[in-house]
A and B are shown apart, each in its own frame.
Chain A
Amino acid sequence: MSDGIGARVERKEDKRFITGKGKYTDDVRVDNQAYAAFVRCPVAHAKINGVDSSAAMAMEGVIAVHTGPEMKEDGIGDIITGWSITSKDGSPMQCGVWNPMVTTYGRYVGDAVAVVVAETQAIARAAAELVELDYEELPASIGVEDAFQDGAAQVHENVPGNLIYDWEIGDEAAVAAALEGAHHITEMKIVNNRLSPNPMEPRSAVAIFDEAEDHYTLYTTSQNPHVARLVLSAFYNVAPEHKLRVIAPDVGGGFGSKIYIYPEEITCLWASMKTGRSVKWTSDRTEAFLTDAHGRDHVTKATMGFDAEGRIVGFKTDTLANIGAYVSLFATVTPTYLHGTLLSGCYDMPAVYGNVKAIHTNTVPVDAYRGAGRPEATYSVERMIETAAREMGMDPAELRRKNFITEFPYQTQVILQYDSGDYHKTLDMAQDIADVAGFAARKAEAASRGKLRGLGYSTFVEACGIAPSAAVGSLGAAVGLWESAEVRVNPVGSVEILTGCHSHGQGHETTFAQVVADRLGIPVDNVSVVHGDTDKVQFGMGTYGSRSGPVGMSAIVKALDKVEAKAKKIAAHTLEASEDDIVIENGEVKVAGTDKSMAWHEIGLAAYIAHNLPEGMEPGLKEAAFYDPLNFSFPAGALICEVEVDPETGVTDIVKFTAVDDFGNIINPNIVEGQVHGGVTQGIGQAMLEQVVYDDDGQMLTASYMDYCMPRADDVPSYALDHNATPSPLNPLGVKGCGEAGAIGSPPAVINAITDAIGTNDLQMPATPLAVWTALQNAKSSMAAE
Chain B
Amino acid sequence: MDLSGQYRIPADVATVWAALNNAEVLAQCIPGCEELEKDSDTEMTAKVALKIGPVKARFSGRVELQDLNPPYSYSIVGEGKGGVAGFAKGGADVTLTEDGAETVLDYTANAQVGGKLAQLGSRLVKSTSAKLADQFFDNFSKAVAG
Interface residues of A (CB under 8 A from B): 42-43, 109, 125, 128-130, 286, 289-290, 695, 697, 699-704, 706-707
Known: A42-B86, A129-B84. A701 touches B114 (CB 8 A): no
Does the CB pair A704–B120 fall under 8 Å?
A: yes
Known: A43-B114, A697-B114, A699-B114. A704 touches B86 (CB 8 A): no
Q: B21: CB under 8 A from chain A?
A: no
Q: B5: CB under 8 A from chain A?
A: no
Does the CB pair B83–A697 fall under 8 Å?
A: no
A128 and B85 alpha carbons, distance in the complex (Å)? 12
User: Whole-angstrom distance from the CB of B5 to the nearest CB of chain A?
Assistant: 23
User: Whole-angstrom distance from the CB of B125 to the nearest CB of chain A?
Assistant: 10
Look across to chain B and name the residue whose beta carbon is closest to the beta carbon of A289: B119
Look across to chain B and name the residue whose beta carbon is closest to the beta carbon of A704: B120
Does the CB pair A700–B118 fall under 8 Å?
A: yes
Look across to chain A and name the residue whose beta carbon is closest to the beta carbon of B114: A699
Contact of B119 among A129, A130, A697, A699 (CB under 8 A): A699
Does the CB pair A701–B122 fall under 8 Å?
A: yes
Sample of 7 more A-B contacts, CB < 8 Å, known A697-B112, A699-B115, A701-B119: A130-B83, A286-B116, A290-B119, A703-B116, A703-B118, A704-B120, A706-B123
Known: A697-B114, A701-B122, A704-B120. A42 touches B54 (CB 8 A): no
Look across to chain A and name the residue whose beta carbon is closest to the beta carbon of B83: A129
Chain A residues lying within 8 Å of B112, measured Cβ to Cβ, are 697, 699
A700 and B53 alpha carbons, distance in the complex (Å)? 16
Does the CB pair A706–B120 fall under 8 Å?
A: yes
A706 and B112 alpha carbons, distance in the complex (Å)? 20
Chain B residues lying within 8 Å of A700, measured Cβ to Cβ, are 118-119
A289 and B113 alpha carbons, distance in the complex (Å)? 18
Chain A residues lying within 8 Å of B87, measured Cβ to Cβ, are 42
Chain A residues lying within 8 Å of B123, measured Cβ to Cβ, are 701, 706-707
A43 and B89 alpha carbons, distance in the complex (Å)? 12
What are some 5 contacts across the A-B interface (CB < 8 A)?
A109-B115, A286-B116, A699-B114, A699-B119, A703-B116
Does the CB pair B120–A695 fall under 8 Å?
A: no
Look across to chain A and name the residue whose beta carbon is closest to the beta carbon of B119: A703
Does the CB pair A695–B118 fall under 8 Å?
A: yes
| Interface size classification for chain B | 10 to 19
A750 and B118 alpha carbons, distance in the complex (Å)? 31
Interface residues of B in 100-136 (CB under 8 A from A): 112-116, 118-120, 122-123
Look across to chain A and name the residue whose beta carbon is closest to the beta carbon of B113: A699
Return the 8 tightest CB-CB contacts between A and B, nearest first. Answer: A703-B119, A699-B118, A129-B83, A129-B84, A701-B122, A699-B114, A704-B120, A42-B114
Known: A42-B86, A42-B115, A706-B54. A286 touches B120 (CB 8 A): yes
Chain B residues lying within 8 Å of A697, measured Cβ to Cβ, are 112, 114
Chain A residues lying within 8 Å of B83, measured Cβ to Cβ, are 129-130
User: Whole-angstrom distance from the CB of B87 to the nearest CB of chain A?
Assistant: 7
Does the CB pair B86–A703 fall under 8 Å?
A: no
A286 and B84 alpha carbons, distance in the complex (Å)? 12
Chain A residues lying within 8 Å of B120, measured Cβ to Cβ, are 286, 703-704, 706-707
Chain A residues lying within 8 Å of B84, measured Cβ to Cβ, are 125, 128-129
Known: A42-B86, A42-B114, A129-B83. A695 touches B122 (CB 8 A): yes
User: Whole-angstrom distance from the CB of B2 to the nearest CB of chain A?
Assistant: 13
A9 and B119 alpha carbons, distance in the complex (Å)? 43
Look across to chain A and name the residue whose beta carbon is closest to the beta carbon of B116: A286
Chain A residues lying within 8 Å of B116, measured Cβ to Cβ, are 286, 703
Chain B residues lying within 8 Å of A704, measured Cβ to Cβ, are 54, 119-120
A707 and B116 alpha carbons, distance in the complex (Å)? 13
A701 and B86 alpha carbons, distance in the complex (Å)? 13
Look across to chain A and name the residue whose beta carbon is closest to the beta carbon of B53: A706
A266 and B123 alpha carbons, distance in the complex (Å)? 35
User: Whole-angstrom distance from the CB of A363 to the nearest CB of chain B?
Assistant: 13
Look across to chain B and name the residue whose beta carbon is closest to the beta carbon of A37: B84
User: Whole-angstrom distance from the CB of B126 to the nearest CB of chain A?
Assistant: 12
A125 and B120 alpha carbons, distance in the complex (Å)? 18
Chain B residues lying within 8 Å of A699, measured Cβ to Cβ, are 112-115, 118-119, 122
A130 and B116 alpha carbons, distance in the complex (Å)? 16
A42 and B87 alpha carbons, distance in the complex (Å)? 9
Known: A42-B86, A706-B54. A286 touches B114 (CB 8 A): no
Look across to chain B and name the residue whose beta carbon is closest to the beta carbon of A130: B83
A130 and B84 alpha carbons, distance in the complex (Å)? 9
Does the CB pair A286–B118 fall under 8 Å?
A: no
A128 and B114 alpha carbons, distance in the complex (Å)? 17
User: Whole-angstrom distance from the CB of A149 to the nearest CB of chain B?
Assistant: 22
Chain A residues lying within 8 Å of B53, measured Cβ to Cβ, are 706
A262 and B54 alpha carbons, distance in the complex (Å)? 29
Look across to chain A and name the residue whose beta carbon is closest to the beta carbon of B86: A42
A289 and B119 alpha carbons, distance in the complex (Å)? 9
Chain A residues lying within 8 Å of B113, measured Cβ to Cβ, are 699
Chain B residues lying within 8 Å of A695, measured Cβ to Cβ, are 118, 122
Does the CB pair A701–B54 fall under 8 Å?
A: no
Interface residues of B in 26-69 (CB under 8 A from A): 53-54
A702 and B116 alpha carbons, distance in the complex (Å)? 10
A109 and B115 alpha carbons, distance in the complex (Å)? 8
A129 and B123 alpha carbons, distance in the complex (Å)? 24
Chain A CB count within 10 A is highest, among B54, B84, B86, B113, for B84
A109 and B53 alpha carbons, distance in the complex (Å)? 21
Does the CB pair A109–B54 fall under 8 Å?
A: no
Chain B residues lying within 8 Å of A702, measured Cβ to Cβ, are 119
Chain A CB count within 10 A is highest, among B53, B83, B123, for B83
Look across to chain A and name the residue whose beta carbon is closest to the beta carbon of B121: A706
A226 and B85 alpha carbons, distance in the complex (Å)? 38
Interface residues of B in 70-106 (CB under 8 A from A): 83-84, 86-87
User: Whole-angstrom distance from the CB of B56 to the nearest CB of chain A?
Assistant: 13
Look across to chain A and name the residue whose beta carbon is closest to the beta carbon of B57: A129
A185 and B54 alpha carbons, distance in the complex (Å)? 51
Chain A residues lying within 8 Å of B118, measured Cβ to Cβ, are 695, 699-701, 703
Chain B residues lying within 8 Å of A701, measured Cβ to Cβ, are 118-119, 122-123
Chain A residues lying within 8 Å of B122, measured Cβ to Cβ, are 695, 699, 701, 707
Chain B residues lying within 8 Å of A43, measured Cβ to Cβ, are 114
A289 and B122 alpha carbons, distance in the complex (Å)? 15
Look across to chain B and name the residue whose beta carbon is closest to the beta carbon of A39: B84
Chain B residues lying within 8 Å of A290, measured Cβ to Cβ, are 119
A129 and B122 alpha carbons, distance in the complex (Å)? 20
A747 and B104 alpha carbons, distance in the complex (Å)? 54
A308 and B85 alpha carbons, distance in the complex (Å)? 61
Chain A CB count within 10 A is highest, among B112, B116, B122, B123, for B122
Chain B residues lying within 8 Å of A130, measured Cβ to Cβ, are 83
A705 and B104 alpha carbons, distance in the complex (Å)? 42
Look across to chain B and name the residue whose beta carbon is closest to the beta carbon of A287: B119
User: Whole-angstrom distance from the CB of A767 to the nearest CB of chain B?
Assistant: 20
Look across to chain B and name the residue whose beta carbon is closest to the beta carbon of A132: B81
Look across to chain B and name the residue whose beta carbon is closest to the beta carbon of A707: B123
A130 and B81 alpha carbons, distance in the complex (Å)? 12
A699 and B122 alpha carbons, distance in the complex (Å)? 10
A42 and B123 alpha carbons, distance in the complex (Å)? 19
